[in-house]
Structure formats: structure tokens, C-alpha cells
């Protein structure tokens, strides 16, 4: 049976990207994106909410993120969702869903910056 795991987000960086390393020494970049939602209720009242997404970028895309992205930049991120599960010290099961970036496009770019960055990302299993 076919399956699809793909996500596209347009939002603003909530913080500067941070370089992290796996236990085997592989570098990746991590950052968060804020995506605003606006709607009207049945009574005509306007509402607004912000959803936050954690994003990881690997390989050359991670290096580019660390070089070009800053808090507040508007970006389009395409990738897949990955949910991790672990037990905390209290024995309770915790979950975190992260976007694993495959491509990134700077939407508020400066003239000397690249328009689109596309790097195939290998599935890195820990």
C-alpha cells in the first residue's frame, strides 16, 4: 500500500539555528518555525493562533541553515515528519514530532542570497 509523509510549512524562525551532534558525531541543525493561523468563528469573531514546529536539517542543508538563517526570517520548509518516543525519569512516555527538512527556501532573501536550497537528505537512523 502506498504511503506519503510530506509536510510544507511557511513561517518565521523563532530562534537562530543551533548546531547539534549525534552520538556518532554527525552534525545537524535544529530550529523552530512559527506558523500563524487566522479564522472567524460562526459569530464573526476574528481569532488568531500560532503553531510551533521543531525542524532538523542534515548534511549540506544544515550548514546552509547555520550560515543564512536567523531569528525572524521567513522561510518555506519542505520535508517529512518524524515522531520520537521516550520514557522520562518518572517513567511517563513522552513524544515529540519533528520536521526533517529536505528543502528550504528563503522567502525574505537579500539580493546576494540563494533563492532555493535543495539537498537530498539521507535517512539517518540513530
DSSP codes, 47-89: EEEEEEEEEEEEHHHHHHHHHH--TT-EEEEEEEEEEEEEE-T
Quick one: how many helices (H) and strands (E) in the chain? Answer: 1, 7
Calculate mean pLDDT across residues 15-33. 95
- Does the pLDDT value for residue 113 go beyond 90? no
The average confidence (pLDDT) of the chain is: 89
- At 126 the pLDDT is 45
- Does the pLDDT value for residue 81 go beyond 60? yes
Strands 46-58 and 27-40, by their bridges, are: antiparallel
**Domains, in order of start, for the chain:** 1-37+47-86+102-126 (2.40.50.140)
Calculate mean pLDDT across residues 66-70. 94
Alpha-carbon gap, residue 61 to 120, rounded angstroms: 9
What pTM, to 2 d.p., does this model score?
0.78
Calculate mean pLDDT across residues 90-118. 81
How many other CB atoms are there within 10 angstroms of residue 80's CB atom?
Answer: 15
Amino acid at each position: 500500500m502506498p504511503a506519503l509523509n510530506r509536510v510544507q510549512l511557511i513561517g518565521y524562525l523563532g530562534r537562530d539555528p543551533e548546531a547539534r551532534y549525534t552520538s556518532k558525531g554527525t552534525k545537524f541543525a535544529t530550529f523552530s518555525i512559527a506558523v500563524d493561523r487566522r479564522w472567524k468563528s460562526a459569530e464573526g469573531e476574528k481569532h488568531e493562533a500560532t503553531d510551533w514546529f521543531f525542524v532538523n536539517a542534515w548534511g549540506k542543508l544544515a550548514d546552509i541553515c547555520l550560515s543564512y538563517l536567523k531569528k525572524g526570517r521567513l522561510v518555506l520548509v519542505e520535508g517529512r515528519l518524524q515522531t520520537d518516543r521516550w520514557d522520562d525519569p518518572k517513567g511517563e512516555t513522552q513524544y515529540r514530532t519533528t520536521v526533517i527538512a529536505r528543502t528550504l527556501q528563503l522567502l525574505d532573501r537579500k539580493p546576494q542570497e540563494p533563492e532555493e536550497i535543495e539537498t537530498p537528505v539521507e535517512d539517518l537512523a540513530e
